[in-house]
Structure 1
Amino acid sequence: MTSARAPLTRDDLAPLARAALGRTPAAVHRLRGGSKKGVYRLVLDDGTTAIAYVWSPGEDYWGSPDADIRDSFSHASGIGLFLAAHHRLTELGVRVPRLLLADEDAVHLPAPAAVVEDIGGASLERLLREEPEAARVPLERLAGVLGVLRQCTAAGHGKALLVAEGGTALGGSCAQAVADRAVRDIADAAERDPRVRAAREALTERVRDLGGAVGPRGHTSLVHGELGPDHVLVTPDGDPALIDVEGLMYFDAEWEHVFLQLRFGPVYDVLRAPGLDPDRMALYRLATHLNLVAGPLRLLDGDFPERDAMRGIAEFNLRRALGLLRDAS
C-alpha cells in the first residue's frame, strides 16, 4: 500500500514562513520519518533555512485519535504538548531548536503549526553510524542532559503540560500504568500476529508478575519518552539538541533508560545512570518491546508509507519479547 497523502507545497507554507521569517520560501521539503506531524524544511533564496512543524490530521498517520491528556501514554502530538515541553526544557537549559513562531490558532495554515530554528547539524544517529569519533563529545554531553532531566522531579507522573497545569494523571503508579498498557498492547498485537495470539496468556501473566514485583516510589523524573539517537541533533559546537519533544513527561527514569538501552545499543554505557531499579527495568523492558510490536502493527493498518521499516521494527521487538518470555520460563 502506498500513501496518497500530498505534502504541503511552497504556496501552502508561504504565509507561515512570511510570519516567522519575513519572507516567502524559495523551496520547501518535507522531511522523512514523521508519523504524527509534518516536518518541513523552509529554504529562503539566500540559503537560510528553518523548520516548520504542522499538526494536522493529514500529517498524522495514526489517525489523530482523541487524546486524554490525563493518560500519560495518550497520543503525544499537538502544539500544546510541544510548547509546554519546549518551555520546560528551555527553562532547564536543555538545548532544543529555538522557537521562531507558534501559530496555535491556525492563522497561517488550516492547522496549528510552529517554526523553529534549523539546527543544521547531523543527527546523533548518523554520527554514531558514520563518524563515531565525532559522536563521542555529544554523546557524553547527552549523558549530562539526562542527569539534568532526572533531577527535575514531581510527586506523580504525567505529561509535562498536564503537570504544568496542576493536573493529575490516570492509572495509579508508573508501573501500574505501564503494566496496564502492556496488557492492552498484547491484546492488540494478538489480533494481528498469530505468534502473539499463541503466547497471549503467558505474556499477560509475565507482565502482571513483573508489575507485582515493583515497589513504591515517591517521585518521578522528567523523561523525553522516545529518546533515540534520531531524536538528537548535534549543533556545530557539539551540543545535543532534543527534537520530537511532545512526549515529554514526568515518569520513572527507568522508562527512559530501557528505551535508551534499546536504541543506543553498544554505546549505552556512556548514558547509563546509577541507581536504576532492576524490577522496574525488567517490567519496562518487556513492555517497551510489546509496545513496539503493537504500535507498528496498528500503523500498518493505515497508509503509512515506510512499511518495510515498520514491519522490521515489529518483527525485531516481537522476537525480543518472546525471547524474554522464554528466558523467564
Structure 2
Amino acid sequence: MRRTAETEDLSTLVPAALGPTARITGIERLRGGTRKGVYRVHLAPSNPGPASVIVYSWAAEENFWPGAGTPTAPATTAPAAQDEQGDPFAPATGLRLFLTARDALDSAGVRTVHVHLADDSHRHYRADVAVVEDAPGGTLEHLLYRSHDPADHERGRTALKHLAHSLTLMRQCRAPGYGPLGHASTPREIPCEQLILEHALGHLDEAADRDHRLGAVREPLRELLHTLRAPITPRTTYSLIHGELGPDHVLVDDAGQALLIDIEGLKFFDAEWEHVFLQIRFSPGDYALLAGPPHQTGLDPARMALYRLAMRLSLVAGPLRLLDGDFPDREGMQAIAESNVQATLALLAQERARG
C-alpha cells in the first residue's frame, strides 16, 4: 500500500518554511504526478503568508513507474536520476535536479515557482521535499482549454504571450553538446538525431508488442523512421528545453506571467524536440504564437518530421509501461496512449499517400 502525505506529516515542514504561525487547514494530492507527489496545502487565514502552498515530495512511494518504488516496502526517498553519464532520456527526478533546473531558468530570466524551503535532511519530512509557491491563477491548460469564462481565456492569452517570450529566452541559452544540465559542455560522438532514432526504434518495438495495430505496421514504421533520419545533418549547438512543456506544466500568477513547473527534465537538446511536444499539446493557433514567425524560428523541417513520429511512439510506449504498475489515473493514461496510437497510424498513412 502506497503511503501519501497527510496533514500530520507536514505539521513541522510547513512552519519551517513559512514561520511558526503557519497552520494547515487542509491538504490535497494533485493528480498527474508520476515521479513525485504534489500536494496543495491550505493555510489558516490568520497566517500572514500565502493562503496555500505546494509541497513536492520525492519519496520513493510517490514514483509510480514500474521498478522505481516499492509500494510494500517504501524507501525514505526516491532514487536519484541516472544522469551520471548525461543520458538526456534518463528518468529526471529528485530535489537536486529540481533546484539545478530552477537556478538555470532563473539565470535565463524565465519565471518558475518561488521556493520557500528545500530540504534533504529529512528532519521535517521522511523524504527529500520542497515547499514552493502556489500560483493562484491555475494552469494554462485550465485557462485556455477547460474554463468557459471569457476572462479566463483573456488571462490565458496574456500568459501564452509571456510563455512565448520565455521560450525565446531559453532558445538563446546555448551549449556545444546535448544532455542534462552539467553534461552539455562538450560535443557528443552520437548526433542528437541519431539518439532520437535509436530511442524511437526501441519505443516502436515496445509499443508494437503491446498494441496489435502498431504490430501490424512495425516494419513500415521502422522504414519510415530511417527514411526521416536520412536527410538530417549534425548540429554543433543546442538549446535549453523543458522537455514536456504542455499547458498543464505552466502555472499563471496574479500578474499573468507563465511559471514553468515539472522542470527536473530541463536539458540542452534540439529545440525541435520541444516544439513537436508543444504542437501536440497546444491548439494550432496557440502553438503558432509560441513558435513565432516562420522566418524567425530556425526550426529544421526534417528534424520536426522525424521527432514528430518519435514523440508519438514515445507517448504510446511510456504510458503503456506506466500502466504495468499501479498508477491511479489509468483511464487518463490509457487515453494518452490511444490518441498517440491513432496519431502514429495517421502519420504513416500521410507518408504513404505522399508516395
Both structures adopt the same fold (TM-score exceeding 0.5): yes
1:144 and 2:165 correspond: yes
Deviates more, 1:169-178 or 1:47-56: 169-178
**Counterpart for residue 324 of structure 1:** 347
SS in 1 for 2:313: helix
SS in 2 for 1:321: helix
Identity of aligned residues (%): 47
Distance 1:171 1:15 in 2: 49
Distance 2:124 2:41 in 1: 15
**Counterpart for residue 41 of structure 1:** 40
1:280 and 2:303 correspond: yes
Distance 1:194 1:107 in 2: 50
SS in 2 for 1:77: coil
TM-score with structure 2 setting the length? 0.86
Q: 1:17 aligns with which of 14, 19, 26?
A: 14
TM-score with structure 1 setting the length? 0.93
Q: Partner letter of residue 197 of structure 1?
A: G
In structure 2, stretches of 5+ residues that fail to align are 70-78
Deviations 1:112-143 (A, max 9, x none): 11111111212111111223233221111111
Distance 1:238 1:109 in 2: 33
Q: Partner letter of residue 316 of structure 1?
A: S
**Counterpart for residue 288 of structure 2:** 269
Deviations 1:214-252 (A, max 9, x none): 112110000011001111111111111111101111001
By relative contact order (CA 8 Å, sep 6+), the higher-ranking structure is 1
Distance 2:96 2:36 in 1: 13
What's the CA shift for 1:256?
Answer: 0.6
Aligned pairs (5 A) from 1:30-179: 30-46=29-45, 48-63=51-66, 64=68, 67-69=81-83, 70-129=86-145, 130=147, 131-163=152-184, 172-179=190-197
Q: Partner letter of residue 341 of structure 2?
A: L
8 Å Cα contact 1:85-1:161 kept in structure 2: no
Would the alpha carbon gap of residues 213 and 79 (structure 1) be closer, same or farther in structure 2, given more than 3 Å must change? same
Distance 1:161 1:91 in 2: 15
Distance 1:282 1:149 in 2: 22
Distance 1:161 1:317 in 2: 32
SS in 2 for 1:191: helix
Distance 1:305 1:24 in 2: 29
What's the CA shift for 1:161?
Answer: 4.5
When the two chains are superposed, the root-mean-square deviation of aligned CA atoms in Å is 1.8
SS in 1 for 2:24: coil
What's the CA shift for 1:169?
Answer: 8.7
What's the CA shift for 1:24?
Answer: 4.5
In structure 1, stretches of 5+ residues that fail to align are none
Distance 1:189 1:174 in 2: 22
**Structure 1: which 4+ aligned runs deviate by more than 4 Å?**
168-171
Would the alpha carbon gap of residues 260 and 171 (structure 1) be closer, same or farther in structure 2, given more than 3 Å must change? farther
**Counterpart for residue 221 of structure 1:** 239
Distance 2:61 2:189 in 1: 31
Q: Partner letter of residue 255 of structure 1?
A: W
What's the CA shift for 1:162?
Answer: 3.5
Distance 2:126 2:217 in 1: 45
Distance 1:171 1:77 in 2: 26
**Counterpart for residue 330 of structure 2:** 307
What's the CA shift for 1:254?
Answer: 0.7
SS in 2 for 1:40: strand
1:209 and 2:227 correspond: yes
Deviates more, 1:128-137 or 1:290-299: 128-137
SS in 2 for 1:88: helix
Deviates more, 1:301-310 or 1:99-108: 99-108
Distance 1:117 1:270 in 2: 27
Distance 2:92 2:299 in 1: 25
**Counterpart for residue 290 of structure 1:** 313
SS in 2 for 1:182: helix
Deviations 1:22-59 (A, max 9, x none): 23423221111111100011222226211110012211
What's the CA shift for 1:111?
Answer: 1.4
SS in 2 for 1:245: coil
1:190 and 2:191 correspond: no
Aligned length: 323
Distance 1:161 1:55 in 2: 21
8 Å Cα contact 1:228-1:263 kept in structure 2: yes
What's the CA shift for 1:283?
Answer: 0.7
